[in-house]
Amino acid sequence: MMCSSFRLKSGSDDLDATRDMLMGRASTSSSPMDRLATQNLAGEVPSSLLSLSQPLVTVSTDHKFTEGPIYLHMNNELHFSDIVCDTRSILSLATWTVTSSTPNNRGNGMTLAPSGSLVVCEHTTSSLILEDKNPPTVLASHFQGKELNSPNDVVVHKTLNRAYFSDPTYGRMPGFGIERDAPLGFQGVFSVALDNPGTVRLECEKEKYGQPNGVCFSPDGKQLYVNDSPNASIDVYDVNETTGALNNCKRFFSEIGSGKFEDGIVDGMKCDEQGNVWVTGPGGIWIIGSDGVLRGKLDIPEHVGNLAWGGPEMNLLFICASTSVYMLQTEVHGECTNEMIKRVEPCPLCRKLILGFDCGKWQSSISEHGLWPTSLKNLRELASGEGFNEYFQKQFNGNEEAYLRWKEVFDVLEVENARDVCPDLPLEQ
């Protein structure tokens, strides 16, 4: 199998149908589901979380080992990596095309900083980086003078402005990185302040884990889940709201398979908005309630390495599984990783307006200026009649430049197109 650039079939009909599907409208053309490879779902999952009548869609394939999915709302894109091929790929949800670039320092887990910049785990450099400039900022590369193993998965606590990451030795093994010794001598879970690079703090006992792997926060950010691949288990920690220190570790779930790679292991995991933990495991994905009770299992045709929610409603689950990336629609929503657009008071109509699928001027202006409302609640307030001046004075604290640039975005929004997206939006003519 060759490592190359990947492209999905797409066309105007596909794009129109995809817009219809994502915006909840009756399709006026054939669905993209008809043009992308699909298969029936199998497993035992509560219907409140997922309907097994939904198809499992192959959105990209012919990779070697897909990992690290992260959805970027601003560009309506899914970013993911192929560790073996040393590539970063971008799936556009507007055109359903995939473009890839290399090298990628065998990047693995990714998440978003509050600024919107990507935080990336790199196997080759044994570093955690912030892609805020070129070259990027190195957040973590050493602990107590010794090089980290190979940062694997990462999450950012938006209130504390800290990144928490696992550091197993997988990136020092052939295929997944560069084969070399591991001078650190243990595999741990660490954190680092985004505004103070290099201040790496160990968050667990040195001998706690065999190979710590997936990490994720509870929806309220008060707990951090950490899994251990060879021990086939998940622990949960309380997060100190002042210092960010992890404490009060408890075993959350055990015996997720044998811990052997060939059987399928615990790896990537995410919490949905209800607090259920969706984690990779034997057969595909295991779903565990916040009470530690198994709620269901979802069968996936390849070993799953990671998963992430995306799409306008954050109800499209993207699954990185060995050679492919799959997608399915869930009944439950994932947690937004970017605090700026986190759903405060869910309003599907306004979410569709923000994405601007049917207004090219609106969409291009957003991309050009790199602007986004601070929350959907704020946009609802604006849409329901609050004046521009009051809105921007409140949100930008007198920042005239931000006000003028944001207002320009609204000025180019054509009223008729806006109402196509959001018919109830009370815009003045």
In a domain, 396, yes or no: yes
In a domain, 4, yes or no: no
In a domain, 358, yes or no: yes
In a domain, 102, yes or no: yes
| pLDDT at position 94 | 81
Whether the CB-CB separation of 258 and 204 falls below 8 Å is answered with no
Q: Are residue 352 and residue 335 in the same domain, yes or no?
A: no
CB count in 10 Å sphere of residue 235: 22
In a domain, 348, yes or no: yes
Closest C-alpha among 314, 321, 331, 310 to residue 284 = 321
Domain boundary among 340, 368, 385: 340
Q: Are residue 351 and residue 322 in the same domain, yes or no?
A: no
| pLDDT at position 294 | 97
In a domain, 427, yes or no: no
Within 8 A by CB and 6+ apart from 423, the residues are 349
| pLDDT at position 338 | 38
Q: Are residue 282 and residue 357 in the same domain, yes or no?
A: no
| pLDDT at position 348 | 40
- What total number of domains does the chain contain? 2
| pLDDT at position 263 | 92
Catalytic site residue from 86, 167, 267, 272: 267
In a domain, 323, yes or no: yes
Predicted structure pTM score: 0.76
Q: Are residue 108 and residue 231 in the same domain, yes or no?
A: yes
Within 8 A by CB and 6+ apart from 376, the residues are 341, 342, 343, 344, 345, 346, 347, 350, 351, 354
Looking at residue 165, the DSSP 8-state letter turns out to be E
DSSP string, 357-416: TT-HHHHHHHHHHT---S-HHHHHHHHTT--HHHHHHHHHTT-HHHHHHHHHHHHT--HH
* Domain encompassing residue 397: 344-421
| pLDDT at position 47 | 92
67 marked among binding-site residues: yes
Looking at residue 264, the DSSP 8-state letter turns out to be -
Q: Check which CATH number belongs to the domain holding 17 and give it.
A: 2.120.10.30
| pLDDT at position 171 | 96
Q: Where are the beta strands (DSSP E) in 93-187?
A: 98-101, 107-112, 118-122, 127-130, 137-140, 142-143, 146-147, 154-157, 162-167
Q: Are residue 93 and residue 64 in the same domain, yes or no?
A: yes
Q: Are residue 77 and residue 201 in the same domain, yes or no?
A: yes
| pLDDT at position 42 | 86
213 marked among binding-site residues: yes
| pLDDT at position 334 | 87
Q: Are residue 290 and residue 194 in the same domain, yes or no?
A: yes
Q: Are residue 316 and residue 349 in the same domain, yes or no?
A: no
267 marked among binding-site residues: yes
Active site residue 13: no
Q: Are residue 38 and residue 115 in the same domain, yes or no?
A: yes
pLDDT of the chain along its 429 residues, tens only? 345 333 232 333 433 443 344 333 344 445 444 566 778 888 899 999 999 888 999 999 999 999 999 998 767 899 999 999 999 999 988 888 899 999 999 999 999 988 888 999 999 999 999 999 899 999 999 999 999 999 999 999 988 999 999 999 999 999 899 999 999 999 999 999 999 999 999 999 999 999 999 999 998 899 999 999 999 999 999 999 999 999 999 999 999 999 998 999 999 999 998 999 999 999 999 999 999 999 999 999 999 999 999 987 788 999 999 999 999 999 998 875 433 333 323 334 344 344 433 333 333 333 343 333 433 334 444 444 444 455 445 555 555 555 555 454 444 443 334 444 344 333 332
Domain boundary among 300, 323, 340: 340
Q: Are residue 208 and residue 125 in the same domain, yes or no?
A: yes
State how far the Cα of 337 lies from the Cα of 73, in Å rounded to an integer. Answer: 9
Q: Are residue 141 and residue 206 in the same domain, yes or no?
A: yes
Report the length, in residues, of the chain: 429
Q: Are residue 268 and residue 151 in the same domain, yes or no?
A: yes
In a domain, 27, yes or no: yes
Domain boundary among 340, 362, 383: 340
